[in-house]
Every structure is written in C-alpha cells, then in structure tokens.
C-alpha cells in the first residue's frame, strides 16, 4: 500500500471524497460538503492522504488555520510570562477513513501538521498548536505530546495545546 500525503487542491477531483467515512458524522459531512469551498476561500489549508493502489482514493486529511487564544486558557501549563493574546496554529479537522485506521496514518498527518506549522512559525510567529479534541481522540493527541487545557470535558470536545518549545 502506497499512501501519499500532499497539499489538497480544491480544483482537483479526489476519488472517494464523497464516500469518505472516518466514523465521525460531523467530520464526514465536512469532507463531503465543506472541505472544497472552505479551502477555496482560504479559510483553512488542507493536506490529504491518497492511496495510489486504489485510484488515488481519498484516505485521510487534516485542515489547519491561524488562531488566537487567551493566555488564561494556558494557565495550567506553567509556561512563564506571556502576553494576553497568544498567536498559534489550530488543527481544525483530522480524520482517517475507517479502512485505513490503525496504520499510523493519523499520527503521520498530525506530525506533518506540526512540521508545517513550526516552519510557518519561524516566518510569522506562532506559539504552538491548539485543537478541540473529540472525547474519543484525547488519548491519541496525548500520545503526540498534547496537554488538556481544562481537563477532560467528555462528552464535549476538549481544548488541547502543544507549545512548539516542547518539541525537540
């Protein structure tokens, strides 16, 4: 199986995008209906996994955007003196189709997002990555170094953060 990771092109047609199923209804609907227009309008940028053994089938994706959080939301992390508003990157959506889960592809997408955003941080300033984690995915993000900002908010999504200074 050869899975490629590339920048999502809103003008391109991706086999299987309309059938994408990661098991999460909101994320599925986003991929089917909103991904293309959102990227077209530059509201976020997406990277996509495609399976070259199956007509470059859409196998997974993530979207990122610029974001701003209040320093009070980082109070449990003991990061020293910081300004009131913290510029950061936000991982907005992430999903891997059920047929491809459990093969380290979600982890590959997240690591790629961190490399991309760290590189951008050197040019425009960004303190780390913020995300709102689905309750079922909190431990997935913790494995990659993210910290819960206000404790587990199950059944709602939980805000999480990873300062770039914590990445070797």
Ligand X SMILES: CC(C)(COP(=O)(O)OP(=O)(O)OC[C@H]1O[C@@H](n2cnc3c(N)ncnc32)[C@H](O)[C@@H]1OP(=O)(O)O)[C@@H](O)C(=O)NCCC(=O)NCCS
The beta-strand segments (E) located in 15-156 are 45-51, 57-70, 85-96, 128-133, 147-148
Query: Which residues of this chain interact with ligand X, rule CB under 6 A?
Result: 22-24, 27, 94-96, 101-107, 133-134, 136-137, 139-140, 143
We find the least distance from the C-beta atom of residue 69 to ligand X, in angstroms, to be 17
Report d(CA 66, CA 90) in Å as an integer. Answer: 6
Q: Judged by CB, which is closer to ligand X: 79, or 137?
A: 137
Per-residue burial over 104-130, b = 16 or more CB atoms within 10 Å of its CB, e = otherwise: ebbeebbeebbebbeeebeeeebbbbb
We find the least distance from the C-beta atom of residue 113 to ligand X, in angstroms, to be 11
Q: Judged by CB, which is closer to ligand X: 120, or 144?
A: 144
Q: Judged by CB, which is closer to ligand X: 83, or 102?
A: 102
Q: Judged by CB, which is closer to ligand X: 73, or 142?
A: 142
We find the least distance from the C-beta atom of residue 123 to ligand X, in angstroms, to be 27
Residue nearest to ligand X (CB): 106
We find the least distance from the C-beta atom of residue 39 to ligand X, in angstroms, to be 18
Give the dihedral sign, CA 71/109/58/121. Answer: positive
């Amino acid at each position: 199986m050869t899975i490629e990771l590339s920048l999502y092109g809103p003008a391109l047609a991706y086999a299987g995008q309309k059938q994408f199923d990661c098991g999460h209804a909101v994320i599925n609907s986003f991929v089917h209906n909103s991904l293309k227009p959102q990227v077209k309008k530059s509201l976020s940028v997406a990277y996509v996994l495609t399976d070259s053994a199956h007509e470059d089938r859409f196998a997974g994706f993530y979207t990122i955007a610029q974001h701003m959080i209040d320093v009070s939301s980082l109070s449990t992390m003991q990061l020293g003196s910081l300004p009131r508003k913290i510029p950061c990157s936000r991982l907005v959506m992430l999903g891997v189709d059920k047929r491809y889960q459990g093969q380290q592809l979600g982890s590959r997408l997240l690591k790629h997002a961190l490399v991309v955003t760290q590189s951008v941080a050197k040019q425009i300033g960004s303190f780390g990555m913020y995300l709102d984690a689905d309750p079922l995915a909190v431990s997935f993000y913790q494995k990659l170094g993210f910290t819960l900002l206000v404790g587990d908010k199950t059944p709602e999504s939980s805000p999480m953060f990873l300062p770039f200074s914590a990445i070797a």
